[in-house]
């Protein structure tokens, strides 16, 4: 046996040891992977005793028909988002909120390239809309159009209308729009100042005289509480924000965004730079924020979209291919592209 | 759910770790040119240390030998003997005054220019012109800047800022004239440090401020300038060390007098319009190259000057470190 083979065998053994068949249902997206895996398992069984009487997770080609489930082993039990029946109750209670944003035939181009093609959508208060799709499909561009951040790119051009409560967003001052449509970014990006000053940042009007700290304190504390951060940082709001952990920084950014009480909250892959526990905390938070806001989340993580969203919009190459309730898009997708994507055939 | 918390996979630990590398080739097997290059690199590095140590060591030896506390507080006086020529209080004050004028004039220009280049910078041809203008100022020899200063401060318009002779002739020499030209040599390092700092602030920091409904100018004032505070401090420190070390501008624009020689009767303003000396011109005038009347005092003053510059370098180093500690960003251009 060559050293490479020995290493391979050791790795296989380790994988098999850490596979608890009762808990993790490892399903593989492609038949190739599944075959490679089962070949490895067979080779192992030929040499070593099976780990338990129960057969290890069988990975037959038929298993590729179900969506992939990413199982992450963490040392602490992840926080449950909301139990399914409760989640449905919250959805039923809130998804019929008033319409906040309406997109009418929105197209965005960078130079000659069209990044978003004629997208029409409506976004209601009390619901979470997830924008999903492969990289480069225009979902982040679409998100950044909703608070006119795309305008910062000099080559960007646009067509169509975006209405916030019936008012064209291109007709209102950008600063006014952005205080009503807040945004949270992929990378936690607190400013290099204290926690208090970060949250109070948007509350301080630029042209008026400086409001006192005492006047701002209730709003700052409330925003931190809504972002679920107050219990961790409340004892010292003067600490520099950059000393916080990544997950805390991201929740601080959420607090900063919701402090001026916006109507819509845009989130651009808010968890992709975070660990699983912080991710679970923020997903829970998204579910709670939905009560007062319309939330739009861009995510690459299909399981996350499934967990947090009420409505899902699937984009592909700039087109809005499918839009519907989470259950419909994931379980009964109408378009072939959507079905292939949510089942992991590409992405 | 609780089973998740208790369950741990058992993983093999692997063989024990070793430190250090394996066998390497011996330099004796190398080609002679490679051996020579290696030897030269070692010698060059160590040689530079030796030279720096020699300068500091010799100046410290001489300086400590001749430096007396009263030298720092006595005014220079006219005397042919070293014992009667007083101390260099006026030169110390002169250095302080020039540094202050230079910094007060240069900081707004440098920071404003850096903000425009890094945050606005349009049209592009204008931005390129501004950058090359500052490079030009940075590359101009200080004696040329001094000559330029001398000629503009002799003009009628700027004459009130400079020393007038008894007959009414304008010499173009004064603390203000020297300080104004000093601001030109202090400006490039401040501009570069601030611009590099602004360009190192990640784009998503600006977007975060825009997304919170702030204008570009409010973003600069509230987010970007606080982020580059330590870059600005580094630039200012570098500028100060250039000002206190410069000699050519002093010799041309401040005259030969060692004592502060005020002009007019308004206190403060009279000093700015008058002539005098700084530590560098004091060293020059007392050294054998100048009038050579007091080489011992030149050594003492040179030692004080060297200490100032070393302390400034230490400050630059400290700022860079603390910035890296708190924000993870590095300060550019921390070499004098």
* B72 within some domain: yes
Q: In the numeric block, which tokens belong to residue A106?
A: 């929105």
* 3-class DSSP string for B147-191: HHHHHHHCCCCCHHHCCECCCCCECCCCHHHHHHHHHHHHHHHHH
Q: Which domain holds residue B222?
A: 53-327
Of all residues in chain B, the one with the smallest CA distance to A256 is: B212
Does the distance separating the beta carbons of A185 and B204 come in below 8 Å? yes
Indicate which CATH number applies to the domain containing A275: 3.40.50.300
CA distance B115 to chain A (A): 18
Asked if the structure places residue B38 within a domain, the reply is: no
Which candidate in A189, A244, A260 is best for mutational testing of the B interface (most B CBs within 10 A)?
A: A189
Same domain? A18 vs A120: no
- Tell me which residue range forms the domain holding A144: 84-342
- The pLDDT-based confidence of A144 (bands split at 50, 70, 90) is very high
pLDDT in tens, A68-86: 555 544 444 444 455 556 6
Which H, E and C letters describe chain B, residue by residue? CHHHHHCCCCCCCCCCCCCCCCCCCCHHHCCHHHHHHHHHHHHHHHHHHHHHHHHHHHHHHHHHHHCCHHHHHCCECCCCCHHHCECCHHHHHHHHHHHHHHHHHHHHHHHHHHHHHHHHCCCHHHHHHHHHHHHHHHHCCHHHHHHHHHHHHCCCCCHHHCCECCCCCECCCCHHHHHHHHHHHHHHHHHHHHHHHHHHCCHHHHHHHHHCCCCHHHHHHHHHHHHCHHHHHHHHHHHHHHHHHCCHHHHHHCCCCCCCECCCCCCCHHHHHCECCCHHHHHHHHCCCCCCCCHHHHHHHHHHHHHHHHHHHHHHHHHHHHHHHHHCCCCCCCCC
Tell me whether residues A178 and B212 touch, CB distance under 8 A.
yes
- The yes-or-no verdict on residue A108 having pLDDT over 70 is yes
At residue A87, the pLDDT reads 56
Radius of gyration, CA atoms only, chain A: 23
Say if residues B253 and B178 touch (Cβ distance below 8 Å).
yes
Say if the Cβ atoms of A18 and B210 lie within 8 Å: no
Q: What is the pTM of this model?
A: 0.73
Residues A23 and A151 in one domain: no
Assess whether A8 and A139 both reside in one domain.
no
Phi, psi of B281, deg, nearest 5: -70, -30
Say if residue A45 is in the same domain as residue A15: yes
Cα separation values, B136 from A21, A154, B103, B246, Å: 72, 31, 20, 18
pLDDT of amino acid A343: 84
Question: A7 and A117 in one domain?
Answer: no
Question: CA quadruple B204, B206, B208, B210: dihedral positive or negative?
Answer: negative
- Tell me, yes or no, whether B16 lies in a domain: no
Residues of A with CB under 8 A from a CB of B: 10, 14, 17-18, 20, 23, 73-77, 147, 149, 152, 174-179, 182-183, 185-187, 189, 191-193, 201-202, 206, 240, 242, 253, 256-257, 260
Euclidean distance between CA atoms A145 and A162, whole angstroms: 9
Whole-number percent of chain A with pLDDT over 70: 70
**A20 and A55 in one domain?**
yes
How many Å is the maximal CA-CA distance in chain A?
78
pLDDT tens sequence for chain B (336 residues): 444 566 777 888 888 888 877 888 888 888 999 999 999 999 999 999 999 999 999 999 988 888 888 888 888 877 666 666 777 888 888 899 999 999 999 999 999 999 999 999 889 999 999 999 999 999 999 999 999 988 888 877 777 777 766 666 667 788 888 999 999 999 999 999 999 999 999 888 899 999 998 989 989 998 999 889 889 988 999 999 999 989 889 888 887 677 777 777 777 777 777 778 888 888 888 887 766 677 888 888 889 999 998 998 888 888 877 765 555 444 443 333
Cβ-defined contact of B326 to A260 (cutoff 8 Å): no
Check residue A59 and give its pLDDT: 45
Distance CA B233, CA B238 (A): 9
Rounded to the nearest angstrom, the minimum Cα separation between A159 and chain B is: 21
- C-alpha span between B319 and B118 (Å, rounded): 22
Q: Which of A189, A242, A260 sits opposite B204 (nearest CB)?
A: A189
| pLDDT at residue A264 is higher than 80 | yes
Closest-CA distance, B141 to chain A, in angstroms, reads 39
Residue A225 lies in a domain: yes
pLDDT bucket at A141, cuts 50 / 70 / 90: very high
Across the strands, what pairs with B153? none
> Which chain B residues touch A if contact means CB-CB below 8 Å?
1-5, 7, 9-12, 202, 204-205, 207-215, 218, 222-223, 226-227, 326-327
Best-predicted range by mean pLDDT among A198-207, A256-265, B261-270, B323-332?
Answer: A256-265
CB B102 within 8 A of CB B238: no
Name the residue among A266, A315, A312 with its Cα closest to residue A286. Answer: A266
Report how far residue B329's alpha carbon sits from residue B326's, in angstroms, rounded to the nearest whole number.
8
Residues A168 and A162: their CA atoms lie apart, in Å, by 6
**What is the model's pLDDT at position A25?**
41
**Are B213 and A185 in contact (CB < 8 Å)?**
no
Total residues belonging to chain B: 336
Nearest CA to CA, how far is A335 from chain B (Å)? Answer: 34
* Chain B residues with beta carbon closer than 8 angstroms to that of A186: 204
Say if the Cβ atoms of A178 and B11 lie within 8 Å.
no
Domain tally, chain B? 1
Decide if A18 is inside a domain.
yes
Q: Which of A16, A37, A65 is the last residue of a domain?
A: A65
Closest-CA distance, B336 to chain A, in angstroms, reads 27
A192 & A338 share domain: yes
Same domain, A57 and A184: no
Cβ within 8 Å, pair A77-B326: no
Point out the residue among B4, B9, B327 whose CB comes nearest to the CB of A17.
B9
Number of helical (H) and strand (E) elements in chain A, helices listed first: 13, 10
User: Same domain, yes or no, for A105 and A55?
Assistant: no
CATH assignment at residue B93: 1.10.3720.10
Record: contact B226-A206, CB cut-off 8 A: no
Tokens 């699937």 sit at which residue? A314
Q: Residue A167 corresponds to which tokens in the numbers above?
A: 């008012």
A209 and A293 inside one domain: yes
Cβ pairs bridging A and B (under 8 Å): 87
Nearest to A192 among B12, B211, B226 (CB): B226
A37 and A90 housed in the same domain? no
Predicted local distance difference test score (pLDDT) of residue B329: 47
Identify the residue whose tokens are 């302080």: B96
Same-domain status, A91 and A61: no
Structural domains of chain A, count: 2
Kind of pairing, strands A311-316 and A128-132? parallel
């Amino acid at each position: 046996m060559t050293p490479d083979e020995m290493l391979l065998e050791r790795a296989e053994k380790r994988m098999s040891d850490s596979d608890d068949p009762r808990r993790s249902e490892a399903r593989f997206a492609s038949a190739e992977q599944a075959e490679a895996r089962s070949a490895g398992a067979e080779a192992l069984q030929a040499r070593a005793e099976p780990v338990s009487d129960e057969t290890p997770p069988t990975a037959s080609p038929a298993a590729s028909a179900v969506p992939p489930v990413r199982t992450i082993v963490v040392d602490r039990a992840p926080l449950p988002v909301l139990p399914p029946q409760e989640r449905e109750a919250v959805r039923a209670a809130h998804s019929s909120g008033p319409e906040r944003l309406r997109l009418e035939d929105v197209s965005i181009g960078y130079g000659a390239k069209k990044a978003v093609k004629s997208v029409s959508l409506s976004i209601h208060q009390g619901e979470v809309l997830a924008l999903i799709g492969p990289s480069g499909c225009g979902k982040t561009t679409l998100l950044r159009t909703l608070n006119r951040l795309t305008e910062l790119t000099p080559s960007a051009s646009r067509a169509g209308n975006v209405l916030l409560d019936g008012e064209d967003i291109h007709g209102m001052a950008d600063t006014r729009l952005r205080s009503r449509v807040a945004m949270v970014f992929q990378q936690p990006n607190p400013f290099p100042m204290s926690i208090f000053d970060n949250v109070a940042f948007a509350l301080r009007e630029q042209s008026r005289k400086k409001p006192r700290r005492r006047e701002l304190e209730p709003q700052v504390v409330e925003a931190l509480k809504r972002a679920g951060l107050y219990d961790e940082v409340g004892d010292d709001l003067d600490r520099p924000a950059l000393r916080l952990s990544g997950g805390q920084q991201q929740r601080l950014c959420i607090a900063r965004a919701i402090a001026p009480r916006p109507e819509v909250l845009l989130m651009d892959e808010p968890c992709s730079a975070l660990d699983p526990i912080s991710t679970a905390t923020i997903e829970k938070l998204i579910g709670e924020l939905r009560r007062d806001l319309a939330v739009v989340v861009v995510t690459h993580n299909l399981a996350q979209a499934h967990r947090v969203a009420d409505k899902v919009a699937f984009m592909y190459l700039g087109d809005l291919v499918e839009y519907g309730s989470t259950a419909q898009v994931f379980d009964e997708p109408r378009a072939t592209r959507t079905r292939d994507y949510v089942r992991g055939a590409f992405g | 759910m609780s089973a998740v918390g208790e369950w741990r996979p058992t993983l093999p630990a692997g063989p024990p770790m070793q430190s250090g590398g394996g066998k390497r080739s011996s330099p004796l097997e190398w080609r002679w040119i490679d051996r020579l290059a290696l030897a030269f690199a070692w010698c060059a590095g160590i040689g530079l240390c030796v030279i720096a140590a020699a300068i500091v060591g010799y100046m410290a030896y001489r300086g400590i030998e001749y430096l007396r506390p009263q030298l720092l507080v006595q005014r220079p006086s006219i005397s042919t003997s070293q014992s009667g020529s007083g101390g260099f209080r006026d030169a110390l004050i002169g250095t302080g005054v020039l540094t202050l004028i230079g910094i007060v004039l240069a900081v707004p220009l440098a920071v404003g220019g850096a903000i425009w280049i890094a945050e606005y910078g349009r049209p592009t041809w204008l931005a390129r012109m501004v950058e090359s203008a500052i490079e030009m100022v940075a590359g101009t020899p200080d004696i040329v800047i001094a000559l330029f200063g001398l000629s503009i401060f002799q003009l009628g318009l700027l004459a009130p800022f400079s020393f007038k002779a008894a007959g009414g002739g304008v010499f173009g020499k004064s603390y203000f004239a020297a300080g104004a030209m000093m601001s030109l040599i202090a400006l490039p390092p401040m501009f570069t440090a601030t611009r590099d700092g602004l360009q190192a602030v990640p784009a998503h920091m600006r977007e975060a401020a825009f997304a919170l409904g702030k204008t570009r100018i409010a973003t600069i004032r509230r987010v970007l300038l606080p982020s580059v505070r330590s870059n600005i401090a580094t630039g200012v420190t570098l500028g100060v060390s250039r000002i206190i070390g410069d000699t050519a501008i002093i010799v041309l624009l401040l005259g030969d007098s060692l004592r502060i020689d005020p002009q007019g009767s308004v206190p403060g303003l009279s000093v700015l319009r008058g002539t005098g000396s700084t530590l560098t011109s004091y060293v020059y005038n007392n050294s054998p190259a100048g009038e050579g009347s007091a080489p011992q005092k030149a050594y003492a003053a040179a030692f004080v000057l060297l200490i100032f510059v070393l302390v400034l370098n230490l400050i630059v180093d400290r700022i860079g470190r603390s910035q890296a500690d708190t924000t993870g960003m590095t300060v550019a251009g921390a070499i004098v």
